[in-house]
Homo-oligomer: A and B are copies of this chain.
């Protein structure tokens, strides 16, 4: 099954944009009268019928609007960009597949790359949302300074940070049905000053397991653990 994306359905736009129209009409060879499923990325699926199979602006009629079941938890991962841009894109893809509500790309003291192709990340997120048949596109924000992320409002605030004081494993301390943020540091980890600041803002150090994980793997692991806690 294919899912198409049109974020402006709530504004009354009942056609696919150029890329989606080409894919729908030229690649998948849909014609007028075919039923296709479209999402607005805002929580709704639309069962539609193609009225005009134009490969630059494929028109459709909405037959039924279906809400995606709401999740009773909220996952926010705030992560440093990786040196290699592919890796943060990969994180976005996998987090969307596994289920995520908000992604913040944060600039830490040891962050080496501060140039961010946000449009590219959004494209990856849209593609992963469609592929995994979800109707909600997570918000992607960034770059945000480390200090600014500390004032976030989630109920449970964690920082992935492994040290000799052996923090608790995220899977054992995150309560079900809540809102969470997890901070994931850059290749060079958070600085001692950043750790102190985070603790002052009521963040709690957590472990993601015994393995030393790359930045993007740690972000994915945190997202997966919080989904598992709630499943």
List, in ascending order, chain B residues with CB within 8 A of A227's CB: 209, 211
Interchain CA distance A76-B50 in the complex, whole Å: 46
Q: CB distance A212 to B132 under 8 Å?
A: yes
List, in ascending order, chain B residues with CB within 8 A of A171's CB: 228, 231
Interchain CA distance A75-B134 in the complex, whole Å: 30
- Tell me if A213 counts as interface (CB < 8 A to partner B): yes
Q: CB distance B214 to A131 under 8 Å?
A: yes
List, in ascending order, chain B residues with CB within 8 A of A56's CB: none
Interchain CA distance A98-B131 in the complex, whole Å: 25
How many residues from A make CB contacts under 8 Å with B? 25
Interface segment, one of A31-39, A143-151, A152-160, A217-225: A217-225
- Tell me if A97 counts as interface (CB < 8 A to partner B): yes
Q: CB distance A214 to B97 under 8 Å?
A: yes
- Tell me if A133 counts as interface (CB < 8 A to partner B): yes
Q: CB distance B131 to A211 under 8 Å?
A: no
List, in ascending order, chain B residues with CB within 8 A of A211's CB: 97-99, 132, 134, 227
Interchain CA distance A214-B132 in the complex, whole Å: 8
List, in ascending order, chain B residues with CB within 8 A of A210's CB: 99, 231
List, in ascending order, chain B residues with CB within 8 A of A214's CB: 97, 131-132
List, in ascending order, chain B residues with CB within 8 A of A221's CB: 98, 224
List, in ascending order, chain B residues with CB within 8 A of A169's CB: 231
Q: List 15 A-B contacts (CB under 8 A).
A: A94-B217, A97-B211, A97-B212, A97-B213, A97-B214, A98-B213, A98-B221, A99-B209, A99-B210, A99-B211, A171-B231, A210-B231, A211-B227, A224-B224, A225-B228
B-binding residues in A (CB < 8 A): 90, 94, 97-99, 131-134, 169, 171, 209-214, 217, 220-221, 224-225, 227-228, 231
